Amino acid sequence: MSPNRTDSVEDPPRRRRRRQVTNAEIIDLLEYLAPPAQASPATPYGLQVGAAQSAVKSIVITPLLSAQAISCATAFHAELIISAAPLLSTPLETLRWDNPIGARAALLAQKQISLYVLANSYAAVPGGFDDSLAEQLGLAPTGVLAPTVAEKQLKFVVFVPPRDLEKVQNAAAEAGAGLIGNYSNCAFRTPGTGTFLGRPGSNPTVGRPGRLEHADEVRLEMLVPERDLKGVVAAVLQAHSYEEVAYDVYPLRNPGPSYGRGRIGELPLQVSLDTVLAQVNDALGLNEDKRARCVHRPGLPIASLAVASGMGAGENLLWHAHRREAGAIVLGGLSPVDLMLVDNASTAVIDIGFAASVAPGLQRLLAQIRDTFEGDGIQVAYASSPAPAGASPPASPMREDRSAYEAL
């Protein structure tokens, strides 16, 4: 028999087994960042093709589900596409592949690629489409154009033994509780006495089963935004030493932070409209084929600028910018109402197209997904919008320069 060699031969390092991530986990993150309940007006969103429990290893993010986006997803071996615009805007009564919408839905099903559509609340929330577009243009917003909804606030109350108090409060604060304006970790503490009687099978931290116990406890109260409640509860349960944690959640009528569509800010210097137009094209990388369009005279003096992603259908963003006396507004397209009002508004319109208006926000979202699931090996790529008619056709998505998609 050969002797066991334990002195000079080391075991090879073991690679950590990556867990399997599902569509549902990606969706949880997306709907935490932009709660669909905050959408205004309501538009189609959610998982339009696929199954929530399907496994995901690669994701493609795109402004809209173009043929190019599907080609990129196929080349990238993606199981999930995240789009800023819906494929299905009305309930699907038939699935026919002799029309473009049905054909794309059928193609996704055939290739087993899921499709998730972002809620339009992603335009209004902090760090969403509107904030990202303003940041990309170098605009420091001083306000929103059109307030939409206020986030619901809850009161979270938990009963804590004194020795756990700081640990539990800090855990709740790190999960999002206790924010009031510019202050964090806000709480109210009330000392008292808690009673409990452990039933058979219990393992109380204090005392023993079968006897009524009295314990010094502190009632800890903190405000929690509705979307953070699940994370706060999980953090508190992990930090608390009791086997069973007593806590209460109360709905509040006082509104939380307001979300709004569009951003507006002052320019450092008053400049001409053609200068603003050139700066917009440069900041967004809009080349000759995709340059922003403007319908006003080039020499118009501009002192303040408004920005809004998408077309803002039903939101009258152009008129809000006019009432706020913005010199110009950067939009992702003109709605029918905008087209009627454009001649009556003092605000110049700079149309950059839908894809360019949401691209900065989608790039930020890509980074958030990548950072959140970095340890799970999730790959994320960005599929650019198709070139307009007359432009050169895109290169093959398999080219090494990734001209049809950009993996970040």
pLDDT (tens, 9 = 90+) of the chain, 408 residues, equals 344 444 443 444 444 556 789 999 999 999 989 888 777 777 889 999 999 999 999 999 999 999 999 999 999 999 999 999 999 888 778 888 888 889 999 999 999 999 999 998 999 988 999 999 999 999 999 989 988 888 889 999 999 999 999 999 999 999 999 999 889 999 999 999 999 888 888 888 777 888 898 999 999 999 999 889 999 999 999 999 998 999 999 999 887 777 889 999 999 999 999 999 999 999 999 887 778 888 677 788 999 999 999 887 667 899 999 999 999 999 998 888 888 888 888 899 999 999 999 999 999 999 999 999 988 989 999 998 654 433 333 333 222 333 333 333
Q: What is the domain class of 21-119+358-407 according to CATH?
A: alpha beta
Tokens of 225: 């935004």
CA–CA dist 250, 175 (Å, integer): 18
- Residue ranges of the chain that CATH labels 3.40.1390.30: 21-119+358-407, 123-146+260-355
- Residue ranges of the chain that CATH labels 3.30.70.120: 152-251
Instruction: Annotate 15-72 with DSSP letters as a single string.
Output: PPPPPPEEHHHHHHHHHHHS-GGG-SS----EEEES-TT-EESEEEEESS--HHHHHH
Are 242 and 163 in contact by the 8 Å Cβ rule? The answer is no
Are 383 and 65 in contact by the 8 Å Cβ rule? The answer is no
Q: What is the pTM of this model?
A: 0.77
What single letter denotes the amino acid at residue 342?
Answer: V
Whether the bond between 41 and the residue before it is cis, its omega within 30 degrees of 0, is yes
Residue with tokens 């994320």: 380
Are 261 and 130 in contact by the 8 Å Cβ rule? The answer is yes
The strand order across the sheet containing 188-197 reads 188-197, 212-225, 153-160, 247-251
Provide CATH code, domain 152-251: 3.30.70.120
- CATH 3.40.1390.30, applies to 123-146+260-355: yes
